[in-house]
Amino acid sequence: MTLDSLHLLFFKNYDEANLTFSPGINCFIGDNGSGKTNLLDAIHYLALTKSAFTATDAQSIKQDGEFFVVKGRFSSPQPSLPPRTETIQVSLRQGQKKILTHDKQPYERMADHIGRYPAVLISPYDTDLIRQGSEDRRKYFDSLQAQLDHDFLELLISYSGLLRQRNATLKQSGAASHGFDHDYLLALDEQLVPLGQQLHELRAVFLADFLPLFQRHYQQLADKQEQVTLAYKSQLTNQDFGALLRVNERRDQLLQRTHAGPHRDDFVFLMDGRSVRNYASQGQQKSFAIALKLAQFEILAVRRGRKPLLLLDDIFDRLDSKRIARLLELVADDTFGQVFLTDTNLARTDQALARVQTDIRRFQVRAGVVAPV
C-alpha cells in the first residue's frame, strides 16, 4: 500500500498544495515553521481521520478560512493486475460535521475507516507518552489496538457510550436533584460490566503479544542491557467489575463520575523494575519511546499483512546519531515501506540516506508552499 498523491485546500498554513509521491522515501525540507510537519499531519488525517498534533479538527482550518480539504490517492498491488487505487478525502467546514469519503462515498461512521490505511508516526514528542498521565498511554494503546482489531474498536465505542450515560445519570444524583433514577443506573451497570471485562481481557492479551516485540527493539537501540517492561495496571485485575461498581456507588454519586473501570487503566513503563519517567535518562526515554513505535510498526505490518506508512518528524534535529543510525539501518534494510520524513537541511538528509537503495523524492517547503527539488 502506498500513498501516491496528496491534495490540500486551506489546511493549516496551506492555501493549496498538490504533491505526487515516491513509493520509497519522501523528504520534506524546510525551515522550522514552514509547514513540513503539517504535511505529515495531513497524511495522518487520511490514515486515522484526525490530527496527530491538534486537539480539535477546527484548529486544522487555515487561519481566517471556512473549511479544509485533505485528499489522498492510495494504491495497492494486485497479482497479475494493475494496482488497485482508492481515494480518501477528509473535509470540514466551520460549524459543521467532519466528512470522510472513500471513492466519493461517505462513511456512515468514521470508525469504519480505522485500520484500512495503517500509519506510524515517530516524533520528538513521543517521550510525552512517558511523562504525561495515564490517559495518554491508554489512548495510545487503544488507538493501536483499534487499527489491528475492528471488534476491539466497536467494544471501546460501546463502553465509552455507556460510560457517558452512566456519568450523566450520576450528575442527576445530587441532593438538590429529583431526577435521579437508581434503577436506570443499575440497568446501565448491567450492560457496562461485560463490556468492561472484555476490554480488560483484550488489553491484557494484546500487551502480552506486544511486549516481546518492544523489548527486542529496545535492546537493539540501547547501549546498555537494561531490562525494560510494560505492565498493565487495572482495577479489574483479579476483581469483579460489577462488585467494584457496587462498592464505589456512593462515592460515584457524591463526586458524580465513575471511579472504577477500564477507563481508569494505565500502562506502566519500567526499566530495571523502576519507573522510566522518574529514573531513566533522557537518552533511555528516547530509546524507550522509539522502541514502542518500532514495535507498533512491526505488529501492524504482521497482522494487517502490509507495511504501514512511516512518518518521521524532525528526527535529524532531535535525536542523537546512534538512534538515527538505527532507524536508517532499518530503512536501508527495507524493513519499512513508504516513508515520509521532515528535515531542515537537505544536505544532511542526502548524506543520511546515501546508502539507501530506493527511490527518494525531495520537496522544498517554504511558508506553506511545496515544490519538488
CA–CA separation, 309 vs 351, rounded Å? 23
Q: Which residues of 209-243 are buried (b: 16+ CB within 10 A; e: fewer)?
A: ebbebbbebbeebbeeebebbbebebbbeeeebbe
Identify the residue whose cell numbers are 459543521. Answer: 96
The residue among 24, 26, 92, 99 whose CA lies nearest residue 61 is 92
Same structural domain, 61 and 104: yes
Residue 208 lies in a domain: yes
Same structural domain, 259 and 297: yes
What is the domain-level CATH number for residue 266? Answer: 1.20.1050.90
Edge-to-edge strands, sheet with 274-275 = 228-233, 266-271, 274-275
Same structural domain, 206 and 68: no
Entry pTM: 0.92
Residue numbers of the domain that contains 97? 1-114+319-373
C-alpha cell at 359: 527511490
Same structural domain, 198 and 252: yes
Residue 195 lies in a domain: yes
Q: What are phi and psi of 73, to 5 degrees?
A: -110, 120
| Domain final residue pick, 267, 282, 305 | 305
Same structural domain, 91 and 229: no
Same structural domain, 164 and 246: yes
| Domain final residue pick, 252, 283, 305 | 305
Half-sphere exposure of 213 (CA within 13 A, CB side): 17
CA–CA separation, 280 vs 277, rounded Å? 6
Half-sphere exposure of 41 (CA within 13 A, CB side): 20
| Domain final residue pick, 270, 305, 340 | 305
Beta strands in the chain (DSSP E): 2-11, 14-20, 25-29, 67-78, 81-93, 99-102, 105-106, 119-122, 228-233, 266-271, 274-275, 309-312, 339-343, 360-366, 369-372
Q: What local confidence, expressed as pLDDT, does residue 15 receive?
A: 95
Task: Please state the separation of Cα 218 from the chain's center in Å.
Answer: 20
Residue 73 lies in a domain: yes
Q: What are phi and psi of 96, to 5 degrees?
A: -120, 175
Q: Give the other-Cβ count within 10 Å of 266's Cβ.
A: 16
CA–CA separation, 370 vs 162, rounded Å? 45
Residue 141 lies in a domain: yes
**Contact between 42 and 6 (Cβ < 8 Å):** yes
C-alpha cell at 199: 476490554
Hey, what long-range contacts does 103-112 have (CB within 8 A, 24 or more apart)? 110/49, 111/146, 111/150, 111/153, 111/154, 111/157
> What amino acid occupies position 358?
T
Same structural domain, 107 and 128: no
List the chain residues with pLDDT less than 50. none
Residue 53 lies in a domain: yes
CA–CA separation, 188 vs 169, rounded Å? 9
C-alpha cell at 172: 442527576
Residue 197 lies in a domain: yes
Same structural domain, 200 and 89: no
**Contact between 360 and 25 (Cβ < 8 Å):** yes
CA–CA separation, 173 vs 250, rounded Å? 10
Total residues found in the chain within this entry: 373
What is the domain-level CATH number for residue 54? Answer: 3.40.50.300
Same structural domain, 189 and 268: yes
Q: What is the pLDDT of residues 341-355, one digit of tens each?
A: 999 999 999 888 888
According to DSSP, residue 126 is labeled G
The count of domains in the chain is: 2
* Longest Cα separation, the chain: 72
Q: What local confidence, expressed as pLDDT, does residue 356 receive?
A: 86
Residue 310 lies in a domain: no
**Contact between 43 and 340 (Cβ < 8 Å):** yes
Residue 313 lies in a domain: no
Q: What local confidence, expressed as pLDDT, does residue 179 receive?
A: 62
